[in-house]
Structure formats: C-alpha cells, structure tokens
A = this chain, B = another copy of it.
Amino acid sequence: MTTKVAILGFGTVGQGVYQILQNKQKQLTHLTGESVQLCGVLVQDKAKERILPESVLVTDQFDEILAQEPDVIFEAIVGEQPSFSYLTTAIDRRIHVITANKVMFAKHGTHLLDKAANRVGMGYEATTASGTPIIGTITKLLQVNSVTKIEAILNGTSNFILTSMQNEGKSLKTALKEAQDQGFAEADPTNDIEGYDAFYKLMILSQLIYKKQPNWGNVPCEGISNVTAEDLAFAKTNGQKIRHIAAIEEKNGELYAGIKPKALSPAHGLHSVDGVDNAIHIISDLAGPLTLRGPGAGKLSTASAMVEDFVHILQSYPVKLLQY
C-alpha cells in the first residue's frame, strides 16, 4: 500500500522532512508496511526553483493539495494563520496531521486535539524542543507516572547568548549578533530574547501534562534582555550560571507557571546545559527526576521529530481513513 503525504511550507523544516522521507524510504516501509509517496508541497512562491521530482505538485493553493487526497499532512509553516484553518480542514477531511508550528499549537492545540480525537492522528513533537523527544516521553513512556512539575530550557537562542555572555564575557548585543550569523536566531529576535518562544512551548507542555493551560495573562514572562554582565559575573562568583527557565507545576488543582532568567547552582539538573541545547527536567511520582537534553533547533532535528510522529501515527491508526 502507498501512503500519500503532503508538506505545507517548504522552508528549512519542510525541506528536512522531504530529505528524510527520501533518504529513509526503505526503513519507513519496513516500519509502517507502507511506501510513502509525496503528492504535493504548498509554497508561498511557486516561481522559486526547487529540487523536487516533476511528479510532485508544487502549489500555493491549499485546495490543490487537498485535491491530491493526501493521507497525512506535514505542516511546517510559521504563525497562527493560515495554518490553523488548514489543519482544521485537514482533520475534517480525515487527514492525519503533524505540525511543527508552536505559536499555532499553543493557541489552538486543545481544539485540534479534541477534533482529532478518535478520528485522526495528531503529531506535535516538533513544536517543542525540536528533536528532543519530550512530548513522546510524556505521552508514551510516562503514562502511569503523574508528572508533578517541569523546569526547562526551551529557547536555544537565549541559552546560547547567556552561555556566551557568561563564559566569554560578551555583551548581549555581540552574542545575539553571533547567534544570528550562525543562523539560529531570527533577524527579529524579539520572540527569543523576550521569552515568548519559551512561553508558547511551556503552554504546549502544560496542555500535554495537565490537560489545561493557565490563563495566559497570569503567566509572568521575562526574557533575557535585561540580564547584564554584572548579573552573570555575580552568579559566577557563587559558582552559579544564569539560565532562562520555563517552569510549571500544579498545586491543589491550580497551575503555577512562569518564565524568567534564574541563577542555578551546580547541583541543579539544568546547570550544565550550555549553548543552543534545550533541556527538560521532569519530576514525576514514580520514575524519579528525569532530565532530557538535546538540540532545540535544526533542520534535520526538527524534521526528525515530525517523521518519528509520522511512523507512530501509521503504526497506531488505519492509514486510509477516507475509506472508512
């Protein structure tokens, strides 16, 4: 049998998905019993040259993608809309969806998961911490465990800047410029350095763990833009590092969440996390404190999370949902 897939958005992540689907054809067939056929790619600018087989439809019209009757859609677009509309329509048409879109999913994840429940698979590992499998660890490996608290470094750019400021005495401006030159900070770095990126990811984790989110307006969200060289030097004299920490826990049925720079002592599980890595410290009732650390961004790393979701969906659901 053949599974027809479409990719929405052909930037870095979308291209990564394509590359993995191409390079891992045999293994995907071995794992899922299906051969995978790319039937369409949704782009913004059709005229731009792309290395894609002629058989693959390249279009800027979502309707034309739907007309190909894909079984699975990979969504790697940035921003809330039109992604949310596209995925809503896809689920209604009984197409499995896999997304890397954190802003959209933080806002509409609950709605989409409800809609998808018992109908189609919904993969969102790539929305949080890229290839570091935090979503899968909680949903698949800690099902019996109750997670009571998480603390996490969820923004690789902030962590890179703090590491570089503290270890090499650089200014925030210089460190940010370096992050931009190395390609992992955006031209407009507001989302990263003001903490919004970590905020969205924390809300996704909240939904995952507690099946609800705190009122967004009540979550203190502080980025790293006010961290000074003096703060870092002072932390260093105490053997501490300043890290940008997103934390959430439930006490007596209430959620307490916050995002802020925090001085960590060497005994803290996230103290050693340097550079662009992400890391999540998970406190649960049975397994004990676990820490997952890995890349927080990257073409193949993020695409890897999406293709792992794809395999899991094909192993869990009948593929040809339209026929049901």
A residues adjacent to B (C-beta < 8 A): 20, 24, 27-28, 31, 130-133, 136-137, 140-145, 266-267, 269, 271-272, 274, 286-295, 298, 300-301, 303-305, 307-308, 311-312
Contacts and interface: CB of A to CB of B under 8 A. Distances in A.
B301 A288 contact: yes
A305 B145 CA distance: 10
A288 B278 CA distance: 12
Most buried by B among A24, A266, A290: A290
Contacts of A131: 286-288, 290
15 contacts: A20-B144, A20-B286, A27-B144, A31-B144, A131-B288, A133-B137, A133-B141, A133-B290, A136-B140, A137-B137, A141-B141, A145-B304, A267-B274, A288-B294, A290-B293
Give the top 5 A-B pairs by smallest Cβ distance, nearest first: A272-B272, A131-B287, A286-B304, A288-B295, A290-B294
A308 B31 contact: no
B132 A290 contact: yes
Most buried by B among A141, A142, A293, A312: A141
Most buried by B among A143, A300, A311: A143
A300 B272 contact: no
A241 B307 CA distance: 37
Nearest to A284: B304
Given A293-B269, A301-B288, A311 B144 contact: yes
Contacts of A286: 20, 131, 300-301, 303-304, 307
Contacts of A145: 304, 308
A295 B145 CA distance: 15
A29 to B, nearest CB: 12
B291 A293 contact: yes
Contact of A291 (B136, B144, B292): B292
A307 B284 CA distance: 14
A136 B142 CA distance: 10
